Amino acid sequence: MSAVNSSFVWVTPPLPQGPLGRRYSVEAKFQGHYHIIRTGRPFIVLLVFVSCAVGALLRTILKESNVPIIVILCLIGVFLGVVGYFVKEFSILTEYVAEIDPILFLHMFTPVIIFTAAFEMDFYIFRKSFWQIFLLSVPGFLLNCTLIGWLTYKINKYNWNWHVSMLFGIIISTTDPILSVASVKNIGLSKIVINLIKGESLFNDATTAIVFELYRDLVSDPHTEVAKEIIIKLVLKFFASTIFGFLSSRIIIYWLSHIFNDGLTEVILSFSMTYLIFFIAEWIGMSGVISLTVLGILLDSISFSPGVDEFIFRFWAMLTFLAHVMIFIIIGIVIAVKTFPYVTIRDLFYILTLYLALNLIRGLVVLFLSPLLSRLGYGFNWRWGAVIVWSGMRATFTLNMALGISQSKDPGTAAMKNMILLHAGTASLMTLMINSTTVKKLVTTLGLCNITLPKRMAMYSAVQRIKEMEANTFSMLKLDRFLADANWTMTEEAIKIDYPYKFDIEEVSQIVRTLKCPDCNTDISYETTPQQIADILEEARLRLLTAQIASYQKQYHTGMLNQDAAQTLIGAAESYVDIRGKFMNIHEVKTYWESKGLLVSFKKLLSDWVYNVKDEKSKPSRNKILKLCHHIVFMDEFEYTSYIITLLNFIPILIDFITDLDETYIKQLIICNYYFIGLYILEASLKALAMGKAYIFHHWNQFELVIIIIGLIDIMIINIFKPLHPTYHMVKTIRVFRIIRLIRVLRLLKLVIPRLINLLEKQINKQLTFRYDIAKGYVQGEEDTKYLIEQISGHETISKEINKIMEKNKQDGMKELGLMQRDYPDIVTAVKTKQAVQTVLNTATETLKVLISSGIVDKNEGAKLQKMILQKKQNLGTLPSTIAPPTAEELLHSISWLENEKNQIEFIQKRARLLCYDYGDVICEEHEMPQGIHLIISGMTKLCGSSPCYGVAKDVDEPRDPKRVPYTDYLVSGAIIGELNCLTKQEMEYTVTCETAVQTCFISMDDLFEAFDKFLEYPSLEYKIWLKLALDITIKTFKENLAYQDWSYKMCTKLPNVYVMDVPTHSKWDIYDGTMDDVILVHGSVQDCQLLQPYFAPCILPKTCHQVQGTAAVTKLLIVRTTTTMKRKSSRRSSKSNTNYWSEYSSN
């Protein structure tokens, strides 16, 4: 309430008084003779927006400089305050600002700064370094403020007592979580150190607020129940605030999960809830700082919808900057207005002494705690300590508490309160002017942001890649008729990119020798020490983790990963950062989804207790009486009557526990008990007669017998004790049996258990879906980063080592996916279905964006289409969590080269055979001739052998890659074995072994070639199989050679314009004749007819090659046309099957 009242006073204060007590009239001074200038304008609003404009101007001018903008803003505020002191007309505005309520100040600016700092923190680094942060922010803070308070008490000449000195020590010891890391977070300093600084600032802000409030209350209002009050406040401030922050984060995450593709709503929600949570926490006596810190740490970019994360970060960065602008403008004015009359030359000595003492004491505290810090979390060293000491910027919290002291009604002179404000403000400015501008130099001097040789090599590789792309673009632009007369010499000079790091001659030569030979321009390796190899491997590992995280984020943004799976994978990858030499593998990722099996066990237990009249029905007896009993018992009405009796029995049981009613209706309650026991006996007797011997084997019947036996014992005890004089033990026994009567109500669980089982099944399915999502996302991440290894490693030995590790990890992930498909086929089918729909809808979205940007579709029309697509995406959540896996017939229909071809499908169905294999059976062996193709219906197979040679002769292929890594892969339902080998009639290159029981649809080679001869109409069956294989090889080739580009949408747009071309041996064919965008050699080998340069599949033929000659028995090229106008009519038919293949490929 005080905040509301004070804010009202701030907006409409009384007019200020001059030195003589005269009030100055705004109307008389500013109205003017012609009454043009209006009076009574809200100049405070003008001040706010002028301050923002000045902040933006300073940011524009000083962006590249090392000058802290907020210091200049504070000095501007001081200048305005001093002007207001001398210019009485201007003092109206400055007096308004100087009387701002500290509580209002706290609630306006603190939530923004606390939430932004916490939101930017890395949760996994924070979790591991929590105890280090705790040591620095609680014991370290208390030690720091005690020493400063003691020093202030000893050396100040203001006659401050011990309590005032301690309050001043508390105020001056806190640090700002944003400004403390602003100068070092983008210069290459370790994330661990940055999180330590930020975490310490966040938690010592919370500690400061709590200690300041407790100490000030104790000093101003001492009373007898001090210990009780302290305990209550500590519980509220620490524990209750943490719980409140956690619960708030769960509510917000749940709310965000139900907002679909509405970034504006999500931003408004994050903004409003931040202030609401802070206000509520402070209002009910908790710590708003701790609640917001917990909230910010538990939220991350993945908590928001895909694409909103970047806007969220920019939004909060803007709010933080504006908050600091207003804080320092206001504080500058407040300091000038309130302390200007009291400042003397002697104060300058104390300002300098205080600044030196702050840094010295902070350094001593960190040194004192360093033995403990080095044994916790990530360890600790003196260089980290130096940076942490020098990064302690005083700002928001220091200024807010000093403002509170200056405007408090506590005992003390105005001079004393204003001197606290002066020293707090000047200490903040000194740390910002000196520490903030020099901490970057300190970090560099200590070598904490040195760019290691592996990092320089990676940067060199990146620069080389950019220069290569620039050169290609440069060459293409010279062919543009509109740019033919451009100044190419000046253009070449303007596009030069210099290497950002400086090297000595030895390092430059070492890097160049690492990548390219100066003579033949081929990759070479050089002799390196084991330590250099280890360093390069570690740097490559860290970059791979970054690439994996980027892959998981990309999958989340495209809808391939749900929020929980993306957060889990990103968190798992981040947890590997500090484990030297450790690569992410599926066996450790599994620990994130493996549960204790409690839900499954509980479901089994409940399943044993499910009771259904129809399920329990047995064959009736021939005896008429027994047959009648059987008919009665297995009627639904009989079961409903049983439930009604149980409900009615609950009423007298409840009355029995009400003392007044029990004594009044004791006889009626006893009769009711007899009556209901009799009904239970009748029900059990009917069931026993109807079911015979089977009666006793059902759990519910056993339970009902127990109820009857206990009920009879209850009746016997009551009748035995009735004539006797009641004793304590008799009364106790009767009461115990009264309580036991409550178990009769458990009979109603018959109705509840089926619903509980349904809920458990949904939760179990959700967990299994989450498990499959993680495994699929992990495998996709390994696939994405696999093609970046060569660029990341920069060294041949490292590249091979990482390739080996990544390939093994990928195989383990594929095996895990196969086992899940075997165990839970319905769930995996549902997940794959959703991902297939998501992929197609993503393509539709990208197509619509292109149509709108090119002007083909109007924005309003595009918005309608976009709304329809978004509705389809939203409907993905309504798809069932389990879908029956496709049958053999359905799988045949879904094969891309058979779809919609009724005659071909019928022919294959008649000739195909279903084969079953057990675990360990071999379907086909390496080096044997193919017998046919196998379409996997169910189960998982393992492929082991040599890498595919794609039609390149062994005597040519082996010398090209003498250290070829053995090929291993896992195939599950829907995959086809042996397509390429049957087409080329070449021996198998791998052995296929069953990892589980497997069922396949087998099409013999003779039947396949008979189908080829029968279905020759374009596109022929053989051509469609070649096209499917060619597209598969092309996608992999593009990803491997152009890994930094996204080929998903590009290939979808190119599919209607692709066709496969056969290049017979020794025949010449023209390529890149103006109608071709890309030519990919997918099988066999060719030779450039001009340069005589050989090319081997798979590869992208360079655009400098215009004529090729086939040099292999079977050579196939995939041609991508430049336009669709030259397509043959028949190729339009085949585009449908192409599109289907791409959808199938993307979803798998």
**Over 50: is that where the pLDDT of 91 sits?**
yes
Stated pTM of the model: 0.74
263 versus 900: the higher-pLDDT residue is: 263
List, for residues 645-673, the tens digit of each pLDDT value.
888 888 887 887 776 666 677 778 788 88
932 in Cβ contact with 1008 (< 8 Å): yes
Predicted pLDDT of residue 272: 92
Predicted pLDDT of residue 677: 86
The residue type of 529 is T
CA nearest to 362, candidates 372, 371, 370, 352: 370
Q: What is the mean pLDDT of residues 390-398?
A: 86
**Over 80: is that where the pLDDT of 178 sits?**
yes
Query: Could you give the 3-state DSSP secondary structure of residue 1109?
Result: strand
Q: What is the mean pLDDT of residues 488-498?
A: 79
Predicted pLDDT of residue 455: 67
CA nearest to 424, candidates 158, 215, 175, 95: 175
223 versus 1143: the higher-pLDDT residue is: 223
CA 611, CA 634: separation in Å to the nearest integer? 12
Instruction: Kindly report the backbone phi and psi dihedral angles of residue 934, in degrees, each rounded to the nearest multiple of 5, phi listed first.
Output: -115, 125
CA nearest to 47, candidates 83, 2, 9, 86: 83
Predicted pLDDT of residue 251: 92
53 versus 221: the higher-pLDDT residue is: 53
| The 3-state secondary structure of 229-273, one letter per residue | HHHHHHHHHHHHHHHHHHHHHHHHHHHHHCCCCCHHHHHHHHHHH
Measured at the CA of 362, the angle between CA 361 and CA 365, to 5 degrees, comes to 85
**Token digits of residue 902:** 């009724």
- The contacts of residue 626 (CB under 8 Å, 6+ apart) are 620, 689, 690
Look at the chain and count its residues.
1148
**Token digits of residue 494:** 């303007």
Percent of the chain with pLDDT over 70: 83
C-alpha distances (whole Å) from 880 to each of 765, 830, 885 are 10, 7, 13
**Over 60: is that where the pLDDT of 833 sits?**
yes
CA 852, CA 860: separation in Å to the nearest integer? 10
Q: Which helix (H) or strand (E) holds 1079?
A: strand 1076-1083
CA 850, CA 827: separation in Å to the nearest integer? 35
Least confident segment among 352-361, 484-493, 505-514, 674-683: 505-514
CA 691, CA 693: separation in Å to the nearest integer? 6
Rg of the chain taking only CA atoms, in angstroms: 39
241 in Cβ contact with 284 (< 8 Å): no
615 versus 970: the higher-pLDDT residue is: 970
**Over 90: is that where the pLDDT of 412 sits?**
no
CA 698, CA 791: separation in Å to the nearest integer? 67
**Token digits of residue 455:** 């990092």
- Return the residue matching tokens 């104390």: 350
Scanning 407-561, the segments in alpha helix (DSSP H) are 414-430, 436-445, 453-477, 488-494, 505-515, 530-557
1077 versus 596: the higher-pLDDT residue is: 1077
List, for residues 75-88, the tens digit of each pLDDT value.
888 888 888 878 77
Scanning 590-727, the segments in alpha helix (DSSP H) are 598-608, 613-616, 624-633, 636-656, 659-664, 666-691, 699-721
557 in Cβ contact with 307 (< 8 Å): yes
Predicted pLDDT of residue 27: 43
Query: Could you give the 3-state DSSP secondary structure of residue 36?
Result: coil
Residue 278: pLDDT band with limits 50, 70, 90: very high
Q: Partners of 936 in the beta sheet?
A: 1000
**Over 50: is that where the pLDDT of 516 sits?**
no
Which DSSP category does 65 fall into?
S
333 in Cβ contact with 95 (< 8 Å): no
**Token digits of residue 136:** 């620095």
Predicted pLDDT of residue 520: 47
CA 593, CA 767: separation in Å to the nearest integer? 8
Q: What is the mean pLDDT of residues 966-987?
A: 86
**Token digits of residue 1094:** 């050989």
**Over 90: is that where the pLDDT of 247 sits?**
yes
CA 793, CA 623: separation in Å to the nearest integer? 85
Q: What is the mean pLDDT of residues 837-864?
A: 83
- The contacts of residue 1079 (CB under 8 Å, 6+ apart) are 1071, 1072, 1100, 1101, 1105, 1117, 1118, 1119, 1120
Residue 248: pLDDT band with limits 50, 70, 90: very high
Measured at the CA of 256, the angle between CA 756 and CA 780, to 5 degrees, comes to 85
**Over 90: is that where the pLDDT of 275 sits?**
yes
Predicted pLDDT of residue 244: 92
**Over 60: is that where the pLDDT of 871 sits?**
yes
Which DSSP category does 623 fall into?
S
List, for residues 780-821, the tens digit of each pLDDT value.
888 888 877 777 776 677 778 888 888 888 888 888 888 888
Q: What is the mean pLDDT of residues 488-504?
A: 73
**Token digits of residue 1123:** 């336009």
Predicted pLDDT of residue 280: 92
520 versus 104: the higher-pLDDT residue is: 104
603 versus 868: the higher-pLDDT residue is: 868
Supply the DSSP string of 120-151, one letter for each residue: TS-HHHHHHTHHHHHHHHTHHHHHHHHHHHHH
CA nearest to 1021, candidates 1009, 1032, 1012: 1012
Scanning 340-413, the segments in alpha helix (DSSP H) are 345-373, 382-390, 396-406
Q: What is the mean pLDDT of residues 118-130?
A: 85
Q: What is the mean pLDDT of residues 202-224?
A: 77
CA nearest to 583, candidates 814, 815, 808: 808
Which DSSP category does 379 fall into?
-
Task: Please tell me which of 216-220, 610-614, 1043-1047 the model is most confident about, judged by mean pLDDT.
Answer: 216-220
357 versus 799: the higher-pLDDT residue is: 357
CA 1052, CA 174: separation in Å to the nearest integer? 57
- 167: exposed, middle or buried (Cβ count in 10 Å: 0-12, 13-18, 19+): buried
Supply the DSSP string of 968-1005, one letter for each residue: EEEE-TT-EESHHHHHHT---SEEEEESS-EEEEEEEH
Query: Could you give the 3-state DSSP secondary structure of residue 1018?
Result: coil
List, for residues 995-1038, the tens digit of each pLDDT value.
888 899 999 989 989 888 888 888 888 898 898 888 888 888 88
Predicted pLDDT of residue 271: 92
Torsion on CA atoms 145, 146, 148, 149, rounded to nearest 10: 110
CB crowding 568-579: b at 16 or more within 10 Å, else e: bbbbbbbbbbbe
10 in Cβ contact with 100 (< 8 Å): yes
Task: Please tell me which of 368-377, 717-726, 813-822, 1115-1124 the model is most confident about, judged by mean pLDDT.
Answer: 368-377
Instruction: Kindly report the backbone phi and psi dihedral angles of residue 479, in degrees, each rounded to the nearest multiple of 5, phi listed first.
Output: -85, -10
- Dihedral over Cα of 442, 446, 448, 451: its sign: positive
The residue type of 302 is I
List, for residues 753-779, the tens digit of each pLDDT value.
888 888 888 888 888 888 888 888 888
290 in Cβ contact with 242 (< 8 Å): yes
Query: Could you give the 3-state DSSP secondary structure of residue 1125?
Result: coil
- Return the residue matching tokens 């089994």: 604
**Over 60: is that where the pLDDT of 1061 sits?**
yes
Q: What is the mean pLDDT of residues 684-689?
A: 84
The residue type of 777 is G
**Token digits of residue 888:** 């053999």
297 versus 624: the higher-pLDDT residue is: 297
CA nearest to 937, candidates 1004, 891, 996: 891
Least confident segment among 577-581, 596-600, 897-901, 1076-1080: 596-600
